[in-house]
Chain A
Amino acid sequence: MSDAIIEIRNLCKSYRSDKGEVSALKEVSLSIAQHDIYGIIGLSGAGKSTLVRCMNLLEKPSSGQVIVNGNDLMTLSDRDLNLQRRRIGMIFQHFNLLMQRNVLDNVAFPLEIAGLRKKEARKKAYEYLQTVGLEEKAKAYPSQLSGGQKQRVAIARVLASSPEILLCDEATSALDPQTTKSILRLLKDINERYGITIVVITHEMAVVQEICSHVAVLDHGKLVESAATEELFRAPKTAEAKRLVFSGSEHILDMTSDRVVRIQFHGGSAYEPILGNIVLETKTPINILYADTQTVNGAAEGEMLIQLPEDEEKARRIVAYFEEKGLNPREVKDHVKSAGNPDDH
């Protein structure tokens, strides 16, 4: 892992409201490695938007440190902060394009900020439009574009300031699943091509799965868990993370069973008839409570919840067999409850 490009230390943010102080972030610390795609996930109101907006000081933290590229942002003058911000791009849920400028001039805007002449700025802007595949819309106005196209323009605009970091604040939340996929692909491409570190804020687990290499789970303003994405999917530790990972599996709550084991497939094991073999070998029917396959970071990740037989010996043999096949079996009696019931932990 390379050096941290973003370092958040003991970040707190509270707002004054009619009902008194509301604390949006509580002692959040995290560090994001260079070239990483880092996801911050949480339910709405968890404080993730506030957190990402602290990373370029659109939101002023109440206390703590935000260190980007080795600079403590809170100690910078307005001028220096603006210079730093040019290296920290941001895209938004509602795109935030200049509505009275055409697409080309929107992309040229950061170049004008950097002091380029209009003609030169436009020429360069056109190249960035080509990067996102929208050069034929150069003369159109944002109101004439679809959501996905608007986000592409926003991405081209952010690229034009040659940032080292790209903050995405719910950048795909206003888009349909198809468009979301194509935007995520573009982001991944940008990450690989330009080496830009990307921070993704989202409430959708699918977004994290698709592109993030690391993920942090935020809950009620606290960072409750952070790990490599595969790791979090394989073995979420906290109830909040489990709830996000198993968000589709509330229905298994109804199933009552003494012993349930969770197994995981990845890579090749998904092609072996493991369950078939185990039934043949132990001569015991097994009950599948839940199964799902997801693509995490380009690799297939499968998981299943298997109800074990009453017979101790047979149960032991099944677990041993899973272990032998590298399926990482874990008894998950407690997760069944905590996955669906937030108050049960």
Chain B
Amino acid sequence: MLSQQEILMIIEGLRDTLIIVGFSTFFGYLLGLPLGIVLAVTDKEGIRPSPAVYKVLDLVTNVLRSFPFIILLVVLIPVTRAIVGKSYGTAATIVPLVVAAAPFIGRLVESSLKEVDKGVIEAAQSLGASKATIIFKVLLPEARTSLLVGVTIAFGTILGYSAMAGAVGGGGLGSIAIRYGYNRFQPQILWPSVILLILLVQLFQVLGMHLSKKLDRR
């Protein structure tokens, strides 16, 4: 059985994971949501096509997304240090996670917004709605269920990435699982951490899907 100390450590890990993933998802959306909106709007089928803007953002998004996270973690060390003051620890893992998550979230948002019925957008245009009105009163609300599904996907993906945070001394369940399970071969700690991670993803998946279904009026 686990000692009280070990249990405490796992609980702390759970807390750290929630903090890391929560903040990363939040800041990821802070960057990714506008990115996704601009991508959807400037696309050639969008409400304000702009091939130049789209191409540049498309390229940046693709480049960032092709970085393996563990490499991004290393490459971004100077940036992380500039932002949080140090390059290790829990807070330090949030920076690369946000950088990795934002383009991914941007793509999720872009595809959600592109699912909105063109006819509804045209109806808004025919009523004289400005582009901002169309974005905030048509595109985002009409896509909300798909956006919510996106949030659960983003959350799960970021949770997966966060396991690598241990590499730079960040906390969380993933890092515990690697340190104790892999480096020290202590399966009694490895498995509870992994199971907690799985349960966490499941929980958010179920919650997200339930919420998106409940909010869907179609």
A residues with CB within 8 A of B: 56, 58, 78-79, 81-86, 88-90, 92, 94, 96-102, 109-110, 112-113, 141-143, 154, 157-158, 161, 167
> Given known contacts A86-B127, A90-B126, is B217 in contact with A96 (CB within 8 Å)?
no
Inter-chain contact A82/B130, CB cutoff 8 Å: yes
CB distance from B50 to the nearest CB of A (A): 14
Enumerate chain A residues within 8 angstroms of B125, measured Cβ to Cβ.
58, 85
**Most A-side CB within 10 Å, residue of B128, B138, B215:** B128
> For the complex, what is the distance from the CA of A112 to the CA of B138, rounded to whole Å?
12
Inter-chain contact A100/B133, CB cutoff 8 Å: no
Closest to A99 in B: B218
Enumerate chain B residues within 8 angstroms of A98, measured Cβ to Cβ.
120, 138, 141-142
Inter-chain contact B119/A113, CB cutoff 8 Å: no
Inter-chain contact B127/A101, CB cutoff 8 Å: no
Closest to B138 in A: A98
18 contacts between A and B (CB under 8 A): A78-B131, A83-B128, A85-B125, A85-B126, A85-B128, A96-B123, A99-B117, A99-B217, A99-B218, A100-B144, A100-B145, A100-B218, A109-B127, A113-B128, A113-B130, A141-B217, A142-B217, A143-B218
> Given known contacts A96-B120, A99-B120, is B126 in contact with A56 (CB within 8 Å)?
yes
Inter-chain contact A99/B142, CB cutoff 8 Å: yes
Inter-chain contact B142/A100, CB cutoff 8 Å: yes
> For the complex, what is the distance from the CA of A167 to the CA of B120, rounded to whole Å?
16
B137 at the interface (CB under 8 A from A): yes
Inter-chain contact A82/B128, CB cutoff 8 Å: yes
Question: Mostly helix, strand, loop or mixed at chain B's interface?
Answer: helix
Enumerate chain A residues within 8 angstroms of B215, measured Cβ to Cβ.
100
Inter-chain contact B123/A92, CB cutoff 8 Å: yes
B196 at the interface (CB under 8 A from A): no
B6 at the interface (CB under 8 A from A): no
Closest to B117 in A: A96
Enumerate chain B residues within 8 angstroms of A158, measured Cβ to Cβ.
127
> Given known contacts A96-B117, A100-B141, is B128 in contact with A86 (CB within 8 Å)?
yes
Enumerate chain A residues within 8 angstroms of B145, measured Cβ to Cβ.
100
**Most B-side CB within 10 Å, residue of A83, A97, A99, A161:** A99
B122 at the interface (CB under 8 A from A): yes
Inter-chain contact B119/A96, CB cutoff 8 Å: yes
Closest to B130 in A: A82
> For the complex, what is the distance from the CA of A98 to the CA of B120, rounded to whole Å?
6
Inter-chain contact A58/B122, CB cutoff 8 Å: yes
B194 at the interface (CB under 8 A from A): no
